[in-house]
Amino acid sequence: MPSCSFCSRQAVGSYALTDLNGEPDDPASWRRAVAPVCKSCHTALAEASDGGRVLKATGERWWLGHGQGKFAEPGNSMTGQWERA
């Protein structure tokens, strides 16, 4: 397993994530990803639920799953990685 996307610990798996970097009202600020996450960061994201967690290093807010965000075309993301969390 690669290292966690949020810290230096070893990831336990790759998870669907949603990233907000900018204005929440702007669909261009939202990004969906699938990235390696460690156990403790996964727990933190899961506990954050709909509030998400801000990654202090980048100022981006992250959610577990792909259920958040304002996407212009919800079923057809730019990366083509749309999947239900």
- Contacts with Zn ion by CB under 5 A lie at 4, 6-7, 9, 38, 41
Q: Among residues 20 and 41, whose Cβ is nearest to Zn ion? A: 41
Q: Which is nearer to Zn ion, 53 or 66 (by Cβ)?
A: 53
CB of 21 to Zn ion, least distance (A): 19
Tokens of 10: 């070893």
The distance of closest approach from Cβ of residue 15 to Zn ion in the complex, given in angstroms and rounded to an integer, is: 11
Q: Which residue has the tokens 């083509």?
A: 80
Least Cα distance to 13 among 31, 35, 33 occurs for: 35
Q: Name the token pair of 51.
A: 């509030």
